[in-house]
Amino acid sequence: MALIVQKFGGSSLASAEHIRSVAKIVAQARQKGHRVAVVVSAMGGETDRLLDLAGEITPAQPERELDALLATGEQASAALLAIALQNIDIPARSYLGLQLPLLTDGQHTRAHIIKLSTAELKKTLEQEIVPVVAGFQGVSPGGDITTLGRGGSDTSAVALAAALQAHCCEIHSDVDGVYTADPAICPQARHLRRISYGEMLEMADMGAKILQIRSVELARKFKVPLLIKSSFGSDKCTWILEEDKRDMESAVISGIIISHNEAKMSVIRVPDRPGIAYQILSPLAEAGINVDMIIQNASIDGYTDFTFTVPKAELSTTTALVNEVIPKIGARALSTDDGIVKVSAVGLGIKNRPGVAARMFQVLADEGINIQMISTSDIRLSCIIEAKYGELAVRVLHDAFDLEINNNLNAIKQQKLDPPM
Amino acid sequence: MALIVQKFGGSSLASAEHIRSVAKIVAQARQKGHRVAVVVSAMGGETDRLLDLAGEITPAQPERELDALLATGEQASAALLAIALQNIDIPARSYLGLQLPLLTDGQHTRAHIIKLSTAELKKTLEQEIVPVVAGFQGVSPGGDITTLGRGGSDTSAVALAAALQAHCCEIHSDVDGVYTADPAICPQARHLRRISYGEMLEMADMGAKILQIRSVELARKFKVPLLIKSSFGSDKCTWILEEDKRDMESAVISGIIISHNEAKMSVIRVPDRPGIAYQILSPLAEAGINVDMIIQNASIDGYTDFTFTVPKAELSTTTALVNEVIPKIGARALSTDDGIVKVSAVGLGIKNRPGVAARMFQVLADEGINIQMISTSDIRLSCIIEAKYGELAVRVLHDAFDLEINNNLNAIKQQKLDPPM
């Protein structure tokens, strides 16, 4: 008998019928002899409904009240799921963050967890009652409701699994796992049965949109095995686990990811003096704008072009900030481009195989795709290219790194590596 | 400067626009120099939406979870109103029952208030911040969310006013006060500027549907002046206050009320033995069914008919229970009738004027209306009559007791009696 934390996302809880289905998933885990603690998101669409309501009152909402408002979504779905569980004779009790309590640092709308008290939860579990915890929410040291940011229920679930020393944390949504590429773009995309925390962090960051990135960081820190599952009837799933030395020997690349969230900005003809990068970027840092890639061209005649990427949603804010800087530093102009995508190859093998980058550039060149910017990490290689080539790039890279062919080999290997369930 | 508790009902908070209007009402009270504490119901329609959702999962909902679910309605409207207040530069903070805390006896769906802690509220008020308290909800000694029953926000508001020793408790809804009769039935109905707690208790019980009856009991106990107001622009309002000796001298009857919520049940040809009433009524008491009027006819040949009224909603449950008893007591049959109404005259003058009952019966007789059952209290006279005569009875009684004519006289008198605001 193991203790399992099951987290259900909004799409899994979008209606009364969905909630009844989720109750059956919990029942199945119990029938296998497991104890189950559940964490829920708000019902699909509910958070947006509440945000719309607040938006109709004023566009500038005080964060303390926004947190109190949004927390109702998870409270309602926790109560509804507890009702659905009891309806099929599974004892259940809903809990608010305030009731556990899940103590946070008090930063409204983006709080971090300080401490999760497990006394009440353990008592409930020992009585064979399923605790159904409202995700996303906690309480500040002063007793205010705080939320963990969009997707925060994933982080709540991992925190619960860590605090209860659960066997694993299952993340149920409408996604049945991680693929070597987006199947909608690349029909050959292969489902991965396991992936390392590190790879998942790089992939989630690229917009894989499977779970909140912070939850993967937390899972890695506390060594909580994560399982990505669909609540819509697929038997596939992906384990997110620690790196395994044996992984190094097989797949170099685990997946090809495309991100449409980037915009490129070039400050043209900047006088090439020390401190220019600081002058351009520090106002953005102060405004909380996350600059990803940065390139400074070689200087010609004492002038250079300074290029960087920011999230597309921040394009207009960034444009305003940079336009203020331009006259001060004596640059000529700002050019912006949101017609770009970032295509990335992610894999543990990258760090040990120097040829991987060269292969990536060659494959893109063979298709006549111009690489505008490049960035790398130990386990990631990313290229900014023109948006219209994005899908093509994913397909040719997927093919070039033999991601489809690894299928059988990996399936056998992974079977052996799966955690005991 | 006075401290005022303002309670806003669901109809006053039905949309973002309504919530912005309510914020202005709070602002007006502050502009007059008052400190304001606010209590809110759920947005109009929200409680029913949540009940429908739960009902789609199962008709039999565990009460602890139903409470946790329904409490989200008031939490959301409290946060939204706090947002709207801050948007017009009035500092505001929303509070859950759990946060104050408002401690209850833990009876889910019908909890009673044990203790309302005011430390946090007083601190907030002293900082000139408007506390916006989610009504209807509290917390059990064990930390569970409990609710005070439908309309419980009125009781929350009165409890708050009592605990804070507020000058008064304003109940804002779509009703601008108490009338001598329902204006939809009786166009001559006169608006009352004041009424006693006792009269209001009798009227609310009759279905005046202005506020939760428990809140009037609580207001009477703690001598909290209640003010019924409309948040939809009417300047009329009704004070609910202690009896004033001077009231005795003027209006005998304050209002004529009709209730459509009754059903009549007759157990036919019951052997007239001691204990029969107990045998018929005790199963109903055990089932929590509230029996109102009871009549036992004079015995003929050792048999009698035993007639009583129950809430219409309990008719089928009561029928089943009584049908079980009938063979045991040797009665012949049960006859039920839901085509009846209860028409009542309510007024402090009733207890000192023995002629009032006779006048009521005479007026109804003159119209050919048969009185099926009669019940009385110190300040109420009620008759069960055939439903089709209900509206006619209200009009002729309203006329017979000169309720319209009292208008000017009372208006002058009441002006003087109004509490200082």
Residue type, B96: L
Tell the CATH superfamily of the A245-421 domain. Answer: VC0802-like (3.30.2130.10)
Residues in A closer than 8 angstroms to B61, CB to CB, are 83
Shortest CA distance from A51: residue in chain B: B80
**pLDDT tens track for A362-390:** 999 999 999 999 988 888 999 999 999 99
Lowest mean pLDDT among A209-223, A249-263, B157-171: A249-263
Size of interface A-B (CB pairs under 8 A): 120
Whether the per-residue pLDDT at A409 is higher than 60: the answer is: no
pLDDT computed for residue A408 by the predictor? 42
CA distance B101 to B191: 38
Average pLDDT over residues A61-84: 97
In this complex, which of A57, A78, A120 lies closest to B87 when CB atoms are compared? A57
For CATH 3.40.1160.10, list the domain ranges present in chain B. Answer: 3-174
Average pLDDT over residues A276-287: 91
Quickly state the pLDDT bin for B411 (edges 50, 70, 90).
very low
Quickly state the pLDDT bin for B248 (edges 50, 70, 90).
very low
Whether the per-residue pLDDT at A252 is higher than 90: the answer is: no
Lowest mean pLDDT among A273-277, A327-331, B312-316: A273-277
Report CB contact under 8 Å: B71, A75: yes
pLDDT computed for residue A203 by the predictor? 84
Tokens 């987006």 belong to A182
As given in the structure block, the two tokens for residue B22 are: 């309510």
Average pLDDT over residues B403-418: 52
Residue B408 burial (CB < 10 Å; 0-12/13-18/19+)? exposed
Residues in B closer than 8 angstroms to A61, CB to CB, are 83
**pLDDT tens track for B260-275:** 989 999 999 999 888 8
pLDDT computed for residue B1 by the predictor? 77
Shortest CA distance from A54: residue in chain B: B80
Whether the per-residue pLDDT at A410 is higher than 50: the answer is: no
CA distance A337 to A262: 9
Strand-strand pairing, A130-134 and A168-173? unpaired
The DSSP bridge partners found for residue B194 are B239
Q: Which residue out of B83, B99, B100, B127 would a mutagenesis test of the A interface target, given it has the greatest number of A Cβ atoms within 10 Å? A: B83
**pLDDT tens track for A14-41:** 999 999 999 999 999 999 999 999 999 9
Lowest mean pLDDT among A260-264, B72-76, B138-142: A260-264
Q: Which residue out of B69, B87, B90 would a mutagenesis test of the A interface target, given it has the greatest number of A Cβ atoms within 10 Å? A: B69
Q: How far is B43 from chain A (nearest CA, A)?
A: 11
Residues in A closer than 8 angstroms to B15, CB to CB, are 56
pLDDT computed for residue A273 by the predictor? 85
CA distance A305 to A265: 10
Report CB contact under 8 Å: A69, B80: yes
Q: Which residue out of A21, A50, A96 would a mutagenesis test of the B interface target, given it has the greatest number of B Cβ atoms within 10 Å? A: A96
Whether the per-residue pLDDT at B132 is higher than 90: the answer is: yes
Quickly state the pLDDT bin for A250 (edges 50, 70, 90).
low
The DSSP bridge partners found for residue A138 are A146
Give the Å distances, CA to CA, from A345 to A238, A250, A253, A397, A410.
18, 16, 6, 8, 18
Average pLDDT taken over every residue of chain B = 90
Q: Residues in chain B whose beta carbon is closer than 8 A to a beta carbon of chain A? A: 15-17, 19-20, 50, 53-54, 56-58, 60-62, 64-66, 68-69, 71-73, 75-76, 78-80, 82-84, 86-87, 92-94, 96, 98-99, 120, 143, 145
Phi, psi for residue A132 in degrees, rounded to 5: -115, 105
Report CB contact under 8 Å: B69, A60: no
Quickly state the pLDDT bin for A421 (edges 50, 70, 90).
very low
Residues in B closer than 8 angstroms to A65, CB to CB, are 79-80, 82-83, 86, 92-94
Residues in A closer than 8 angstroms to B57, CB to CB, are 16, 19-20, 80, 83-84, 87
Q: How far is B337 from chain A (nearest CA, A)?
A: 36
pLDDT computed for residue B416 by the predictor? 42
Residues in B closer than 8 angstroms to A76, CB to CB, are 50, 53, 69, 72
As given in the structure block, the two tokens for residue B249 are: 């001298």
Lowest mean pLDDT among A23-27, A74-78, B342-346: B342-346
Average pLDDT over residues A291-314: 88
pLDDT computed for residue A233 by the predictor? 84
CA distance B238 to B162: 19
Cβ neighbours of residue A30 closer than 8 Å, sequence gap 6 or more: A36, A90, A130
Strand-strand pairing, B168-173 and B3-8? parallel
Residues in B closer than 8 angstroms to A73, CB to CB, are 72
Q: Read out DSSP for A147-174?
A: E--TTHHHHHHHHHHHHTT-SEEEEEES
Q: Read out DSSP for A17-42?
A: HHHHHHHHHHHHHHHTT-EEEEEE-P
Residues in A closer than 8 angstroms to B79, CB to CB, are 54, 65-66, 68-69, 72
**pLDDT tens track for B39-94:** 999 999 999 999 999 999 999 999 999 999 999 999 999 999 999 999 999 999 99
What kind of fold does domain B3-174 have according to CATH?
Carbamate kinase (3.40.1160)
Best CATH choice for the domain B246-421 from the list 1.10.760.10, 2.60.120.380, 3.30.70.890, 3.30.2130.10: 3.30.2130.10
Report CB contact under 8 Å: A19, B57: yes
Quickly state the pLDDT bin for B22 (edges 50, 70, 90).
very high
Whether the per-residue pLDDT at B300 is higher than 60: the answer is: yes
Residues in A closer than 8 angstroms to B75, CB to CB, are 68-69, 71-72, 75
Average pLDDT taken over every residue of chain A = 90
Cα angle, residue B390 at apex, residues B268 and B149 outer, rounded to 5°: 80
CA distance B337 to B360: 23
Contact status, residue A219 vs residue A160, Cβ threshold 8 Å: no
Average pLDDT over residues A391-410: 80
Lowest mean pLDDT among A14-18, A195-199, B245-249: B245-249
Please state the pTM of the whole predicted model.
0.86
CA distance A10 to A153: 10
Give the Å distances, CA to CA, from A76 to A72, A145, A172, B123.
6, 15, 18, 30
Residues in A closer than 8 angstroms to B78, CB to CB, are 68
Average pLDDT over residues B219-232: 95
Q: How far is B32 from chain A (nearest CA, A)?
A: 24
Report CB contact under 8 Å: B87, A17: no
Whether the per-residue pLDDT at B255 is higher than 70: the answer is: yes
In this complex, which of B62, B78, B145 lies closest to A83 when CB atoms are compared? B62
Average pLDDT over residues B176-182: 91
Q: How far is B266 from chain A (nearest CA, A)?
A: 38
pLDDT computed for residue B245 by the predictor? 58
